[in-house]
Amino acid sequence: MEYSAPPEDVTFSGLLFDMDGTIIDSTSAVVKHWHTVGNEIGVDPEVILQTSHGRRSIDMLKVLCPEKANWEYVKHMEGLLPKFHGQDAVEIPGARALLDSLIAARAPWAIVTSGTEPLVTGWLEVLSLPHPEHLVTAESVANGKPDPACYELGREKLGLPPTEEKDKVLVLEDSPAGIRSGKAAGCRVLAVVTSHTVEQVAAAEPDWIVQDLRSVKMVECAPGRGVTLRISDGLVRKA
Residues designated catalytic: 18, 20
Question: Could you please report the per-residue DSSP string of 1-20?
Answer: -EE-PPPEEEEESEEEE-SB
Among the listed residues 28, 70, 47, 18, the one whose alpha carbon sits nearest the alpha carbon of residue 177? 18
The residues near 170 (Cβ < 8 Å, ≥ 6 apart) are: 10, 12, 14, 15, 16, 187, 188, 189, 190, 229
CB-CB contact of 141 with 152 (8 Å): no
Residue length of the chain: 239
CB-CB contact of 95 with 24 (8 Å): yes
* 209 bridge partner residues: 191
The residues near 233 (Cβ < 8 Å, ≥ 6 apart) are: 3, 4, 5, 210, 211, 215
Label residues 74-85 b or e (16+ Cβ within 10 Å = b): bbebbbebbeeb
Q: Is 238 exposed, middle or buried (0-12, 13-18, 19+ CB in 10 A)?
A: exposed
